[in-house]
């Protein structure tokens, strides 16, 4: 009997109150492929509540178009401006609710974890992340827009893809001796 190749679609979101990035990654077996990459431009909307409504509607539209199985979203980083953090948190929350209303599980990733997964350097620049994604996923320059928010969102989706096949390690071990002491059934 031939087993069908599993397919999963991951929606990545880089939350923002002026520009919100999104990237849609299709994974067939172990092969990732970019389905869509773009931004939700909110700069023309001056009312902060209408921005939230627009985010919800656009994220729902992206979900309807691509039917993602999971959402990977970048966690807001801690800034000094409390008002900016509140606005960013609201935007992130609305995107999360849009996914949850469609029963799509959500996973949040810290920017450092995403950068580390993509480039091997948690302090990588947006440009370095975008360049690495272009190379790994064979994205033509013409598909990369002027905003790095789209590639940041794709980075969240790709980070999630990388994490899918890696079970979380429950215990930390200080040495092989410690590992053997805690796992005697694995020693022959």
Spatial CB neighbours of 109, under 8 Å, sequence gap ≥ 6? 72, 73, 74, 75, 156, 159, 160
User: Active-site residue 185, yes or no?
Assistant: no
* Marked catalytic residue, from 7, 14, 57, 127: 14
Please give the distance of CA 125 from its chain centroid, rounded to a whole number. 16
Residue ranges of the binding site: 14, 74, 149
Of residues 41, 69, 149, 185, which has the active-site annotation?
A: 149
Binding residues for Mg(2+): 14, 74, 149
Find out whether 68 and 102 touch, Cβ atoms under 8 Å.
no
The answer to whether 103 is a known catalytic residue is no
> How many CA atoms does the CB half-sphere of 133 hold within 13 Å?
35
**Is-contact 95 53, C-beta < 8 A?**
no
Candidate list 74, 103, 141, 178, residue with the active-site label: 74
**Does the active-site annotation cover 131?**
no
Residue numbers annotated as active site? 14, 74, 149
């Amino acid at each position: 009997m031939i087993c069908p190749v599993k397919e999963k679609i991951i929606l990545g979101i880089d939350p923002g109150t002026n520009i919100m990035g999104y990237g849609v990654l299709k994974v067939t077996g172990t092969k990732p492929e970019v389905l869509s990459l773009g931004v939700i431009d909110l700069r023309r909307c001056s009312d902060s509540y209408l921005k939230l409504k627009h985010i919800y509607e656009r994220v729902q539209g992206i979900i309807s178009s691509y039917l993602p199985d999971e959402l990977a979203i970048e966690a807001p980083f801690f800034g000094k401006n409390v008002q900016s953090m509140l606005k960013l948190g609201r935007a992130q929350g609305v995107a999360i609710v849009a996914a949850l209303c469609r029963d799509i599980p959500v996973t949040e990733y810290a920017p450092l974890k995403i950068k580390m997964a993509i480039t091997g350097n948690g302090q990588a620049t947006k440009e370095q992340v975008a360049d690495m994604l272009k190379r790994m996923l064979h994205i033509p320059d013409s598909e990369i827009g002027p905003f790095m928010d789209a590639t940041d969102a794709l980075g969240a989706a790709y980070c999630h893809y990388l994490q899918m096949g890696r079970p979380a390690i429950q215990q930390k071990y200080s040495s092989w001796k410690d590992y053997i002491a805690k796992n005697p059934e694995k020693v022959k």
